[in-house]
Amino acid sequence: MSGLVAPHGGKGLTCCLLGGGELEMEKKKAGHLKKISVSAREKGDLIMMGIGGFSPLNGFMTRADWKEVCDNFLLCDGTFWPIPVTLSVSRAEASGIAAGDEIALLDPRGQELLATMRVTEKYPMTGTDKKYECEKIFMGQGTASPEDFWKIAAGEHPGVQMVMNQGDVNLAGPVRVVSQGEYPAKYPGIYLTPEETRKIFQEKGWRDVAALQLRNPMHRSHEYLCKIAVEVCDGVFIHSLVGNLKPGDIPAEVRVRCIDALIHKYFVSRHVLHGGYPLDMRYAGPREALLHATFRQNYGCSRMIIGRDHAGIGNFYGLFEAQTIFDRIPYPDKPGKALICKPLKIDLTFYCHKCDGMASLRTCPHAKEDRVALSGTALRKFLSAGDRVPDHFGRAEVFEILREYYGGLAAKTEIRLHRAAAGEPEPAGS
């Protein structure tokens, strides 16, 4: 790992994934344990703990850690961490589990063994507790008050719905992961572990690596962000989510094809790497931007590209709130405890007809009418409706793949444009 940024937490990569004889013994033992099916979000969290992506976490959080993360962006030992990583069960399931018990964790369908867990604590999550977590994690500067937030969030924010619908009891404790799910087989060469990316970065001679978070096919703005990063770093890691999204988003296998086509035609291969990771989106905006930077540090990245409305949804967050939050988080002075991966903050980007190229608010002096506002949401809306995509929005090779996908859908999907996707200017105070 020489030359690359150290994994988060100061303990190296904390990998809970078993192998060899230890793996077979754990699988055999699991057959005699009480079985719990986890949610899709918890499955992704488990796999990330298995491969070291969530270093230094080695299990699901206690109530004390949950509260400290919500309030202060810290674990109880003083390590920076931005979002709770918890496991919930129903009251009925919890009634048969006591501290000290071992349980087997199955995939959401209850078919595949993912991990075993030694329960060290179980604690209630009342409706008040869940609302508290939602307000701390999901309520950004796009809503003026908790009252305004809840008027919309309960019905329109998938991350909020995820928390409010989870079980009423949380289980805490270390895990022993036995499976990476379907990802290695489904995305060969794309699904990469932190150990694998660090090895590739070293082979390429990279030290200063920027990560681009993607949940949409790459359009010209994404391409421009990557090329800015390549100019100031050794390389860029295009890291796309291959876990679950919300209804109407484009499936991972389609996005992977689009990204690969764009990289092949428009990037210098020695300065770019495309990979995938197994999490579900939480749509937590600024808090999720911090999580993205935290686990990208574990993958070996020293910078995280943060553009406008990073990991956002609707109008819940200020357009650049995901950038400014990095200036407000704690930076513990104990070795390894602070977030080392820094944001690469880039202004609103677009194609400008008068500039005759990609530009940003920092570089383009022209009027809004001269610009083609770019967003993944707008692109999905154009393609889903069968409308013509504006010139300079993206590359023909990508559109060909996307038109093939949308042409094969049995029904059109309604896509709602929000403020950021419509390319509106940054609101005052954000």
Residue with tokens 């990802």: 183
pLDDT confidence bin for 410, thresholds 50/70/90:
low
56 preceded by a cis bond (ω within 30 of 0): yes
pLDDT 10s digits, 56-95: 999 999 999 999 999 999 999 999 999 999 999 999 999 9
pLDDT of residue 2: 64
Contact by Cβ (8 Å): 322, 286: yes
Structure tokens at 315: 């109008």
pLDDT digits (tens, 9 = 90+) for 293-335: 999 999 999 999 999 889 998 889 999 999 999 999 999 999 9
CB 256 within 8 A of CB 243: no
Alpha helices in 267-305 (DSSP H): 286-299
67 contacts: CB under 8 Å, gap ≥ 6 = none
Any idea which residues carry the catalytic annotation? 215-216
Strands (E), 78-147: 87-89, 102-106, 113-118, 121-124
Residue 258 host element (H or E): helix 252-266
Q: How far apart are CA 293 and CA 291, in angstroms?
A: 5
Structure tokens at 389: 């995509």
Residue with tokens 């008040």: 128
Task: Show the tokens assigned to 199.
Answer: 């090895």
Distance from C-alpha of 277 to C-alpha of 81, rounded to nearest angstrom: 19
Q: What is the pTM of this model?
A: 0.92
Length of the chain: 430
- Assigned token pair, 196: 């694998």
Structural element, H or E, at residue 238: strand 235-241
pLDDT band at 156 (very low <50, low <70, confident <90, very high): very high
- Domains in the chain (CATH in brackets) are 20-125+166-180 (3.10.400.10), 182-430 (3.40.50.620)
β-bridge pairing 169-177 and 87-89: antiparallel
What is residue 247's predicted lDDT score, i.e. its pLDDT?
A: 74
